[in-house]
Structure 1
Amino acid sequence: MDTLTALDVMRDAPVIPVIVLHDAAHAVPLARALVAGGIRMLEITLRTPQGLPAIAAIAREVPEAVAGAGTVRTAAEARAVADAGARFAVSPGYTPALGAACREAGLPLLPGVATGGEIMMAAEDGHAALKFFPAMQAGGAAMLKAWGGPFGDIVFCPTGGISAQNAADFLALPNVACVGGSWLTPGDAVAQGNWARIEGLARAAAALPRA
């Protein structure tokens, strides 16, 4: 998987877990539990200071996982996560400067979009696999269905408000390759080291049907 693309990341499994870690020591056992459940594309967010060391630990110690970085907003962050061993980046929005930095770092980018204009800007820079964020607040499955007409060549990973209860509604859409969600890694399960529970959640997510 040396030539990983954003589409490869999105098509690997029905769900990309959005992971917020408060203790980098949890990163390796968490990654192993997710991989055991059939989920190997992992978005570790930069929302806490533990994000970068967590990415580095997974990249170093769990080779069967593909560590990615979420909440990447700047060119400096793109370079930092690449140096830490991230294999892909996910952003809450998009700027051409961020896109250029990810290309220079060799990082496939899933840019966040919430409007037609943002889709067009990202597409102009060569991005056809996009994160729809925040999905529920920005129009949900109905918005994605509407975008299927004018943006028929774009595929999406909706993230934001996606849960085990509504994931299937999104995955049934032909322009949705996967969804992103935090329900695979509940905070209490991570804090307690309940890796068996997380493996079970991953296994259920990996079995979700797609269009």
Structure 2
Amino acid sequence: MTLYSRDAETDAITALAPIIPVLTVRSVEDGLAQARALVAGGLTAIEVTLRTPSALAAIAAIADQVPGAVVGAGTIVSPDQIDDAVAAGARFLVSPGATTDLAEAAAAAPVPFLPGCATASEAMALRELGFRTLKLFPAEAVGGARLLAALAAPLPDLRFCPTGGIDLVKAADYLKLPNVACVGGSWMLPKEALAAGDFARVEALAREAAGLRRL
């Protein structure tokens, strides 16, 4: 069994800002514009979801053209996506959940990996592979801050990046918990602002999110 060994790198990425914005990109240009606004607002760790045809190309462009950005790939759902995302320039990877095959591939990944979980049993299974920082998804739907508070005592060595259904107010509540490393979300990327090309608003919302305080 492969044990995960990238805790220090994972900690460094989750420490960059209290929020990791989650991007769904329509094109390479759209991804670049979103990333530039987020970095200007102080959110430098950026997760691009592999949900659109442009995602891998956008990751490569962001890695090459946006100074200060630490770009990762999200919605990793199969082991073969790991190599593709890393080859594109992803510096960290995120999954919504973790099958046995994906978890084992994640443990051997060449970059930090935040595997997803939704229950105590799933968190414990990932812990057995050596992971100490996990994504809780879909956070609000599975119990949110109350669930994480309950997990803190029996699983004190685990930290989480809750993602799913979180806004600015809820993020502040999560960040008060000792086992929350950072929060994932997309509220600083409102659809109407992106459709209008209003990246000044994205930057302002990113700056507000970057100002949130952790415990």
Kindly indicate whether residue 47 of structure 2 is the aligned counterpart of residue 43 of structure 1.
yes
Out of 56, 59, 77, which is 1:55 matched to? 59
The 2-side partners of 1:4 and 1:78 are apart by 20
Mean Cα deviation higher: 58-67 or 198-207: 58-67
Kindly indicate whether residue 166 of structure 2 is the aligned counterpart of residue 170 of structure 1.
no
The 2-side partners of 1:96 and 1:172 are apart by 32
Helix, strand or coil: the match of 1:165? helix
> How many corresponding residue pairs?
209
Q: How far is the alpha carbon of 1:51 from its aligned partner?
A: 1.3
Superposed, 1:1-211 pairs within 5 Å as 5-211=9-215
Question: Any stretches of 5+ residues in structure 1 without a counterpart?
Answer: none
4+ residue runs over 2 A deviation: 95-105
Q: How far is the alpha carbon of 1:95 from its aligned partner?
A: 3.1
The 2-side partners of 1:142 and 1:198 are apart by 29
Q: How far is the alpha carbon of 1:157 from its aligned partner?
A: 0.6
The 2-side partners of 1:184 and 1:46 are apart by 19
RMSD, matched Cα:
1.5
Q: How far is the alpha carbon of 1:133 from its aligned partner?
A: 0.6
Q: How far is the alpha carbon of 1:107 from its aligned partner?
A: 1.7
Q: How far is the alpha carbon of 1:109 from its aligned partner?
A: 0.4
Question: Any stretches of 5+ residues in structure 2 without a counterpart?
Answer: 1-6
1:128 aligned partner, one-letter code: R
Alignment check: 8 A CA contact 1:157 1:177 kept = yes
Q: What's the % identity of the aligned pairs?
A: 50
CA offsets 1:22-73 (integer angstroms, 9 cap, x no match)? 2221111221111111110000001111211111110111131011001001
CA offsets 1:139-196 (integer angstroms, 9 cap, x no match)? 1111110001101110111101100121111111111111100101112222222111
TM-score, normalised on structure 2?
0.92
Alignment check: 8 A CA contact 2:135 2:160 kept = yes
The aligned counterpart of 2:3 is none
The 2-side partners of 1:96 and 1:9 are apart by 25
Mean Cα deviation higher: 77-86 or 188-197: 188-197
Helix, strand or coil: the match of 2:36? helix
1:67 aligned partner, one-letter code: V
